[in-house]
Every structure is written in C-alpha cells, then in structure tokens.
Structure 1
Amino acid sequence: MIPIKNFARDAQIFKALADEKRLFILDFLKNGEKSACVLTDELGIAQSALSYHMKILCQSGLVSSRQEGKWKHYSLSDSGRSFALSRFIDLTAIEENSLTSCRCQPKSS
C-alpha cells in the first residue's frame, strides 16, 4: 500500500504558479524587489486585486514581503524557490520500483 503524503504545501505552490498574472509578477520580481505601487502600475490592476495575488504568492513561500511606510515591498524568496524546485523534481522523479508492469488484470471478454 502506498503511504499517504501531505501535499498541502505543494498544492499552494502549484496554485500560485497556475495563474498568468502571478507568473507575470514572478517574472517581474526577477529583476529585484518591487513595491505594491509599482506592481499595480505594471499590471494595470487595482490594489485589491494585487493583494489577492500577493497573498497567494506569499502563502506559497515563493515571494516574501516587507512593510515600508504605507507600502509593501515584494521580492522572490530564494528558499521558496529552492523548495518549489525540489518538490517538482521529487514529484516527477520516476522511482525504479515503479517501473514494474501494471498489476491490473485485463477484463476477459
């Protein structure tokens, strides 16, 4: 029997990656930390929409934030990036013992 694993953190990461605006934000943050003001201007979205996307990105661990005055500043998280990459590799790695043939029996006609 296959042991049950907890994939909650993995789901947060891949949810964060499953949206075009969030991918744009990640791509934009590759060039360094940006304030919420800059991101709303670049994306052409309201502050509330940005907050929604940044909440998902921060919860996933891919982005970190810091408060400076009335604005939040966002940057890519090296540890979040490393964790996401390692999880993707682990989730898609073919295990040698799984290369055996299927144990399902074909239906007889």
Structure 2
Amino acid sequence: MKTNYTDYANTFKAIAEPTRLQIIDMLSCGELCACVIHEKFDITQPTLSHHMKILCDSGIVIPRKDGKWTHYSLNEQRLNEIRDFMNMLTVTEKACICNE
C-alpha cells in the first residue's frame, strides 16, 4: 500500500500551531464542550471554531452535537495511524521509501 505523504503533511500542518496543540492536550483528558475549551484561551468564539474545524477536518478531533452545544473528543484511531506513520518514517524496514 502506497503511503499518502500529502495527507500526513496536511495533518501535521493542522497540529503545527500552539493553540491547537493545547486543545489536543486538553482533549487527551476526555470529551469537552466547546465552551470549556473556549474558557481556557483568550480568543474569540469564531477563532476557536476555526481551530476546531481544522482539527476536525484533519481527523484528529471528532465533534458531537448535543442540542446547541458541540462536544469534542480525540479520534484515537487517527492518532494511532499518525503514530504508526511516524514509526514507519523513523525505522528501517523493507517497506521504506529508499527500498522502492
């Protein structure tokens, strides 16, 4: 199976921002309402929505609507894929790009 480097590059762009890294860290403790996340930062609600859209579009975060509120959680499957990809990048294997 061919590795989609572009997909992973876009994922790393999504997390290459301090606020988004902090949001991921917060979500590592469990699902949180957007209002709880917003309280942590000195940003506007539209700015938080922008950050959450990027994280959701990357597949790292999963939104769940509950009435007028949105709750967010980490997508463990996607995080495992990212860990596997990083491992693949840093380990010598037959499947390495240098062996193609």
Which position in structure 2 is the counterpart of 1:107? Answer: none
TM-score of the two chains, using structure 2 as the length reference = 0.83
Bigger Rg over Cα: 1
**Which stretches in structure 1 are left out of the alignment for 5+ residues?**
99-109
Which position in structure 2 is the counterpart of 1:81? Answer: 79
Which position in structure 1 is the counterpart of 2:63? Answer: 65
Q: CA deviation at 1:57?
A: 0.9
Distance 1:66 1:10 in 2: 24
Which position in structure 1 is the counterpart of 2:14? Answer: 16
Matching residue within 42, 45, 48 for 1:44: 42
TM-score of the two chains, using structure 1 as the length reference = 0.77
The alignment-based identity, stated in percent, is 42
Q: CA deviation at 1:72?
A: 1.0
Give the secondary-structure state (helix, strand or coil) at the position aligned to 2:30. coil
Q: CA deviation at 1:95?
A: 4.2
Q: CA deviation at 1:5?
A: 5.3
CA RMSD for the aligned pairs?
2.1
**Which stretches in structure 2 are left out of the alignment for 5+ residues?**
none
More deviation, 21-30/9-18 = 9-18
